[in-house]
Amino acid sequence: IENLTPGTGVDADLDGLFIVDDAITLDSIRFESTTTGDANFTFSQQTAQSAPVEPIGNERGVDAFGYFTLNHTIPDSAVENVSFAFSARWSYLDANGIDPAEVRLLRYGTDGWTILKSDRLVGTAERARFTVDSPGLSTFAVGVRTSQFVTADARVSPRTIQVGETATVTADVANRGAIAGQTTVTLTRN
């Protein structure tokens, strides 16, 4: 990008860079620069294994589809008011049981992963479209908010029973995810 001017918005059409094959793509970026001059940007698509930062853990309540990094030649402090547009094929969302309202963009910063609010735009017959504002550039992940159930502290009372007697089994089941959901807890013997 040539001739950056402080306070002037820069729009870059990214022509559908693959985040997850052609199923989820980064379509455009808009930002303002606080510096003058030229800047080079590079985009790299990544997986949880190849991302240059820690992958998103289950504690965030988000399952990541794919990761990407935007590297640039100007200081992080010189990039403001970043806005991304990305899209997902409806067929991909439907095949994976994904509610578009739960799709999120996450940004990796000094405090780890932050979930950014994604706004869904009017899409096309083929793609759902999203926009999201970010405080800057970094490594990002596109994912879906999920329910994540954890079962712990299973207890049997009484611990010993004879043929024909009954026992009570209790357990703590917690949803540590980001949205409500249902689960089935299975009890197995031995």
> How do residues 50-78 score in pLDDT, each as one tens digit?
888 888 876 668 888 899 998 888 888 88
Which segment of 14-18, 83-87, 160-164, 186-190 scores lowest on mean pLDDT?
A: 186-190
pLDDT band at 118 (very low <50, low <70, confident <90, very high): confident
pLDDT at 48 over 60: yes
pTM recorded for the entire structure: 0.75
Taking CA atoms, 137 is separated from 49, 106, 153, in Å, by 20, 11, 42
Which segment of 18-22, 94-98, 175-179, 180-184 scores lowest on mean pLDDT?
A: 175-179
CB 114 within 8 A of CB 70: no
